[in-house]
Structure formats: structure tokens, C-alpha cells
Amino acid sequence: MLLCTTNSWSQVNADKKSKTEIDRERQLIREEIQRYFGYETLPIRYLSLPYDASVNSNIESYYVEIGFLLLMFVPIVLMLGFRKKPVYGIIIMILTVLLALISTANGTLIKNKLSRISLIEDADWFSNNFEKETVLGAPVDNIIVSIYKASYNLYQPIDRFLLKFSGNFDHITYPFLLLFFLLGSFLLDKYLKNKRELVQIIGMSALVFAFLWLVFSAGIIWYGYLIISLLFLFLFAYFSKNSKKGIVQFFNYTFISIVIIWLGATLTLRISNIYQIDQSAGVHIFDAPIVKYQIGAIEPTNGKRFTQENLIQNYFPGLDQALKGINKNDNLVYSIGTMFPYFIKKNNQRLFNDNLLALFQVILNKYDNDKVTVTKVLKAYGFRYILVNLKLYRVDKTPEKSVQQKYKNFMNYAYKNPELSLIATDRIVKGERGLEYGLFSNEIKSEGSYAIFKIK
């Protein structure tokens, strides 16, 4: 009887375990992968993807930026292609306007100094502050904000309607997307009707690829590079063949001019290479430590050439010394969102990645945030080092800000933890002896990017 009870209890526990694990994984995916996809009403996440991918509504950075050429010209080319069958052209136009409306209403704008605001999430802020302050830097911002606001107002009835059938999850999105594909394939088939058979085949195949990418890739742009490259060729093929006189030639000149402006803009973007606005903004076409390494610069401090170790020291002050300790033996290393696996020997065997603190939060909860016990639990398992990314909270795009909360909990755990000693960080704080490397202080001079703790 007791045995049965114990077994049953174990089974219940096992079930609980797996559920906890599943929930943890789901939350992790929601935070990590779906930030590229957005968190709008479910069908809208898919429909706004082309726009989001072009203007970086969900994630803002160079690595997701594909520019405006495709967004601007693909609908135009499709409409122009249906000049002889205007009904299809009108369908394309209506669809484009509808998608633009949905996407801008759910989109984001740059506030200032590269920080972002969303009409959906920051509606109050918009209505209270935008009229009073000049918050945006670029000259056309007033127009853009007006368009976004108008879209937002027009979108509200659509959203209310959608919320009757949908929300965060639903039954309708997959069937709806399939219908959308059928409409798309019908229009593309009509568009390619007079083209060579192989062009039709590749066009229609590309549509299947594009659809699968949009539905199953959660908005990760680089999974769809193939379709982007083909769309570029498609655009240039269209304008290349229509160089007759008249209005078509005007379109061609406009297209070429915009492409050349785009090339200038992207080259400027690359040369200025701006990540933050300060006095040195616009200088960093290259990284200084890398250039020093490339040209074999002589260090004035020791008269020796700039080496790989100097380079690591330049990027992450103090890391080199810490790495020597970490790489001396095969102890386990707990990494929280850091970029350091590359530097750690046998990292595939001894480094545990808890990128968004999913497991750590579970452990903290399990031991009621008892920092000493948690550290002892980790030590008992063989962990000797904890590496943390001090900018981790920035990746959080979830509406509930779950990563930020977990990050805060971790910092509380690390604060005055008698079982941990900080062995390296590049954060600069104002301490008792003036400016120094450290984590906690009333005055943080430089946020830094990492901290390494040794478990005592």
C-alpha cells in the first residue's frame, strides 16, 4: 500500500516535473524566439510580418534590417503587372492598404536616441506627450506619427472583430492563412500567365517557400534570405524590361534614383555604424582593437605588438584573467546569456546555458529565494562559476516583461551573496575609492556588459 502510494506520488511528481519543464520551455521560446514575431492578436502577427520585417517593428537592429525597397516596390510592380486586368490590380491595392493599416497600427516608432515606442503598448504616452514634446529626431516624424495614429484608430474595429474569434490563441488562423495562400497563388498565377513556363514554375515555387517561411519561421528574417534575394531579382527584372518611353520610363528613372539613394543610405549606415549616440558616434566604421591587431600596432605601455589577449582585454576588461581561472580545470560553468562560450575550453561539455534565466528562476522559487541555499545547490552539482550578461534585460519584448523580472530577481540573488565572489566585470561604479569595477552602487558610471562570479 505504502509502495503504491509512493509510486503514485512519484508519478504525480514526475507529471508535475514534466509540466514545469514544458511550461519553462514554452515561456523561454515565447521570450527568445517570438520576439521576432511580435505579440499581437494571432492572425495579425502573421499579416504584419512583411511590414515588421521591413521596418523592424519587433526587433530593432542592423541584423534584421532589410530596408524599404521590397516593401515599397513589390506591391507597385504587382499592380503595374495587372494594368490589362485592373480587377486584380484593385484586389492587390486593397490587400496592400489593409496590410499597411494593420501593420502600422501595431508597429513601433523611434522615440529618440534609438529607443522605441509602440502605439499599442504606449497609447497613453502618445496622447499625453507627443503633442507637448519634440520627441522624435527625423524631419518626417510628424507625418509618420499622424499616419500611425490614423491607422491605429481605423484598426480598432478590426481588432475588436478579430478578438471575437481570436486572441493569443485560436482555431481560425491556420485555415485563414491557407485561404490567404490560395488567394496569393491565384493572383500570382494570373500575374505570371504570359511568362515562360520555367519562370512561372520558379515564381510559384517561391510562393510556397515564402508561405512556409512566413508561417513556420516566427519572423526570423534570415531564414527567408532566399525569398528576399529572389524578390530583388524580380523587381529589377520588371524595371529592366520596361524601359520604353513615357510613364513607364518615368517609373524606371524613379526606381533607379530611389535604389541609388538606398545604396547611399546603406553605405552611410555601414560607415557610421551607430549603436549609441555620443561624441564618438559615426566614427566606428571599424573596431579600434581589431584595427590595432590588424596593423600590428605597438602598445606604448610595453612596446610590444597588440595581441589577441590585448584584444579580449579591450573588448571585455578583466575577462582574460577570469578565463585563466575558468579554463584551469573542468568545473561546470553556469552561463546566463553571455557570449563567452567561445572562450571556454570544452564548453560543449561543461557549460550550462540558461540564456533567459528560465531554470534559475525555477531554482529560486524552489528554495524561496534563499540565496545561500541556491548557491550551495549549484556548488553541490559541480558549478564553480556563474557568468551573466548585464544587458540581458534588453532582449525582453514580452508584454509582461518576464525577462526583466527574472533579471531583477537574479541581481537580488547576487547582491551581497556571501557564497559568491565577483571576480570580473566591466561595469564601472562609483565606490568608496572613487571609480572602480563593481556591480552594485548608488551611482553606475558605465553599465558594462558582463559579470563573472566564483562560487566560494
Partner 1 sequence: MYYYAVTNFKYFALAGFYLLFTLSLCFFLDANWREKIFGQRKTQNLSERFSSGKFKWINWLTIFTTIFLLMGISIAAYIVQVNNINLLLNETKLIHNFSIGNVLFFMRRVLTVSLATFFVMLTCRVLGNWFCDLLGLNLKNTAALVVEVATGIMLVTTLLFVLGLIIMLKWFAVASIFSIILVLRWKKTLYFLKALIRPITVPQNLNWIGVIGISALLIITAINYNQLLRPIPTGYDALTLYVNLPSLIGTHGSLVQGYQPHNWSLFMSLGYVLFNMTEVALCLSSLGGIFTLFAMYYVGKWLNININYLLLGLAAFYLTPSIVHQSSKELKVDLGLLFIQLSIIITFIHWYFSIHRSNNESIETSVTNPSFGFLQKLHHIKLFSYVRQSHIKYLIVMGMLTGYSVGIKITSYFVALALLAGIWLIRKGKFGYMAIFFFSFSLSLFIRADAISGLRNYHLSAELVKYVCLGLSLILLTIAFLKERELFTKKIRSSIIYGSVALLSFLPWLGKSYLETNSTDIMVLINGKQIGPVITAESLDRNWKKVKDNK
Scan residues 286-325 and list those touching partner 1 (CB under 8 A): 286-288, 290-298, 300, 308, 311-312, 315
**Shortest approach of partner 1 to residue 380 CB, angstroms?**
4
Task: Give the interface segment with partner 1, choosing from 119-127, 162-170, 396-404, 409-417 (CB under 8 A).
Answer: 162-170
Residue 243: phi and psi, rounded to 5, are -100, 40
Binding-site string for partner 1 from residue 333 to residue 372, where x marks contact by CB under 8 A and - marks none: ------xxxxx-x-xxxxxxx-----x--xx--x------
183 is a contact residue toward partner 1 (CB under 8 A): no
Question: CA-to-CA distance for 138 and 141, rounded, in angstroms?
Answer: 6
Cβ count within 10 A of residue 70: 18
Cβ–Cβ under 8 Å, residues 176 and 214 = no
Residue 64: phi and psi, rounded to 5, are -110, 5
Nearby residues of 167 by Cβ (< 8 Å), 6 or more positions away: 41, 42
Phi-psi region of 218 (alpha: psi -120 to 50; beta: other; left: phi over 0): left
Q: Which CB, 64 or 429, lies closer to partner 1?
A: 64
**Shortest approach of partner 1 to residue 316 CB, angstroms?**
10
Question: CA-to-CA distance for 205 and 59, rounded, in angstroms?
Answer: 29
242 is a contact residue toward partner 1 (CB under 8 A): no
Question: CA-to-CA distance for 250 and 149, rounded, in angstroms?
Answer: 33
**Shortest approach of partner 1 to residue 334 CB, angstroms?**
9
Binding-site string for partner 1 from residue 393 to residue 422, where x marks contact by CB under 8 A and - marks none: ------------------------------
**Shortest approach of partner 1 to residue 442 CB, angstroms?**
26
184 is a contact residue toward partner 1 (CB under 8 A): no
200 is a contact residue toward partner 1 (CB under 8 A): yes
**Shortest approach of partner 1 to residue 33 CB, angstroms?**
5
Question: CA-to-CA distance for 302 and 306, rounded, in angstroms?
Answer: 10
Q: Which CB, 163 or 256, lies closer to partner 1?
A: 256
**451, β-bridge pairs:** 388, 425
Q: Which CB, 96 or 200, lies closer to partner 1?
A: 200
Q: Measured between alpha carbons, how far is residue 18 from residues 14, 25, 47, 276 in Å?
A: 6, 10, 34, 43
Task: Give the interface segment with partner 1, choosing from 56-64, 123-131, 414-422, 426-434 (CB under 8 A).
Answer: 56-64
Task: Give the interface segment with partner 1, choosing from 13-21, 88-96, 322-330, 419-427 (CB under 8 A).
Answer: 13-21
DSSP 226-289: HHHHHHHHHHHHHHHH---STHHHHHHHHHHHHHHHHHHHHHHHHHH--SS-STTTT--SS-HH
Q: Which CB, 43 or 75, lies closer to partner 1?
A: 43
232 is a contact residue toward partner 1 (CB under 8 A): yes
427 is a contact residue toward partner 1 (CB under 8 A): no
Which of 265, 408, 421, 447 binds partner 1 (CB under 8 A)? It is 265
**Shortest approach of partner 1 to residue 440 CB, angstroms?**
25
